[in-house]
Amino acid sequence: MLRKRELLALIAFFGFISTSFADQVTLKNGDRLTGTVVKSDGKTLVLHTDAADDITIKFDAIQNIKSDADLHVTVKSGKTIVGPVTTADGNLEVATKSSGTVAAAKEDVTLIRNDAEQQAYEKSLHPGLLHGWNGGINVGFSVARGNSQTENLSLAFNAVHPTQHDKLTLYTSSIYTTNALANPSTVANLTQGGFRYDRDLNSKLFAYGAADYMANALQFLDLRQVYGGGLGYHAIKSDATVLDLFGGLNYTHETYSNGSLLVAGTPSTPPVYASYGVTNRFIAATIGEEFDHKFGSSTVLTETAGFFPDLQHTGEYRFTASAGTVTKLNKWLGWQNQFGGIYVSNPPSSAKKNDVIFTTGLNISFTQ
């Protein structure tokens, strides 16, 4: 058996071995961080640590970087140098296999990726339509019995297929609520879905095309179809935060029923809907924004807003807004909260102009 002194020496030895094979980042204030260099955009550097997960460090606060594994270092000229990295005289020195040690001025570095990040980047360039998808499914359900008899079911699906220069987004959601003691018993019945395609024209400007569909029984909306396109601007585009501003034109075709018609003297009779009472066709403007932000490694906030003024009937418009969070509980399961509002300036006279919806429940995420 090992003596106590020999055991302590063995633990210290393995501790030294694990440290010696870890990347090290030394800050200008003298602090030293140990972990795995993940990536850098020339402004910040992400270091993965065992104790604190991912840490984001300002790049100009770094004095030295030392990596034992290969890093892919891209400079302003577009050239990428691959190899373990050390720092000397303010330069990053990359020990390449083919050209020996190559020095790169720290201020010229635009990107740093480890092997895993580089492979993910190369795969994202041409992922194929059947690969590269990520998204999630939201599920919420509630039942109440006693003084009330209500049932609520909310479902949502979102999938995004991003590449380096374009993005395809698919989405659909539905909320259905009933109250057996009310008349009518359907309290909410909203279904919407659609898709959008974005294509970068340069690093800031992009073009988009979209189609959206909605049915909302409480506003007597049988179906609204919106087809549009335009230009957008990446106001913020980083790993943690994305803010897109966009505008364009759309063609809207919507059909409303005449509302519910109850048979006289029988208030318990289910409502009868006279469909296709009003049909609107018009050209409208699209003005909107989308905002995504990651809080640490577990929570994502997504917010969107859109304003759609009717260009053929002055004073009539539609406004939509939504915000939601997803907090990861593990790799594939999370908790989601979603808030949404829909305002229509000219619904049928018997319908309210505004619908506000809040849902919460589980999120099941996927990556393909």
Sign of CA dihedral 16, 20, 21, 26: positive
3-state helix/strand/coil string of 319-357: EEEEEEEEEECCCCEEEEEEEEEEEECCCCCCCCCEEEE
Burial of 14 (0-12, 13-18, 19+ CB in 10 A): exposed
| Structure confidence at residue 188 (pLDDT) | 79
| Structure confidence at residue 265 (pLDDT) | 43
Per the structure block, which two tokens stand in for 206?
């992009």
Residues 6 or more apart whose Cβ sits within 8 Å of residue 163 = 124, 125, 126, 127, 132
Helix (H, G, I), strand (E, B) or coil at 238: coil
Give the chain's length: 368
How far apart are alpha carbons 218 and 19 in whole angstroms? Answer: 63
How far apart are alpha carbons 67 and 48 in whole angstroms? Answer: 13
| Structure confidence at residue 254 (pLDDT) | 92
| Structure confidence at residue 142 (pLDDT) | 79
Residues 6 or more apart whose Cβ sits within 8 Å of residue 90 = 105, 106
| Structure confidence at residue 144 (pLDDT) | 77
Residues 6 or more apart whose Cβ sits within 8 Å of residue 23 = 34, 35, 36, 37, 47, 65, 66, 67, 68, 69
Output the pTM of the full model: 0.68
Domains belonging to the chain, first-starting first, are: 22-125 (no CATH), 134-367 (2.40.160.40)
Q: Pairing state of beta strands 278-295 and 241-256?
A: antiparallel
| Structure confidence at residue 182 (pLDDT) | 72
Residue pointed to by tokens 């966009």: 246
| Structure confidence at residue 9 (pLDDT) | 47
- Phi/psi of residue 217, nearest 5 degrees: -65, -35
Distance of CA 312 to the CA centre of its chain: 34
Q: Pairing state of beta strands 62-66 and 71-75?
A: unpaired
How far apart are alpha carbons 142 and 349 in whole angstroms? Answer: 31
Gyration radius of the chain over CA positions = 28
H helix or E strand, kind and range, residue 187:
strand 186-200
Per the structure block, which two tokens stand in for 141?
């359900």
How far apart are alpha carbons 71 and 37 in whole angstroms? Answer: 8
Residues 6 or more apart whose Cβ sits within 8 Å of residue 285 = 247, 248, 249, 250, 307, 308, 309, 311
Would you give per-residue pLDDT tens digits along the chain (368 residues)? 445 455 444 444 444 444 445 899 999 898 999 999 999 988 899 999 887 788 899 998 999 999 989 999 999 888 999 999 998 888 899 999 988 999 988 888 999 999 999 988 887 777 677 777 889 999 998 787 776 678 888 999 999 998 888 899 999 999 888 888 777 777 778 899 999 999 999 989 999 999 999 998 878 888 999 999 999 999 998 878 999 999 999 999 998 876 554 444 444 455 554 455 788 999 999 999 999 999 987 899 999 999 999 999 989 999 999 999 999 998 889 999 999 999 999 887 767 788 888 889 999 998 76
Residues 6 or more apart whose Cβ sits within 8 Å of residue 75 = 81, 104, 105, 108, 109, 110
Distances (CA, A) of 271 to 175, 261, 275: 20, 6, 12
H helix or E strand, kind and range, residue 149:
none
Q: List, as one string, the DSSP characters of 89-140.
A: TTEEEEEETTTEEEEEEGGGEEEEEEHHHHHHHHHHHS--TTSS-EEEEEEE
Neighbouring CB atoms inside 10 A of 117's CB total 18
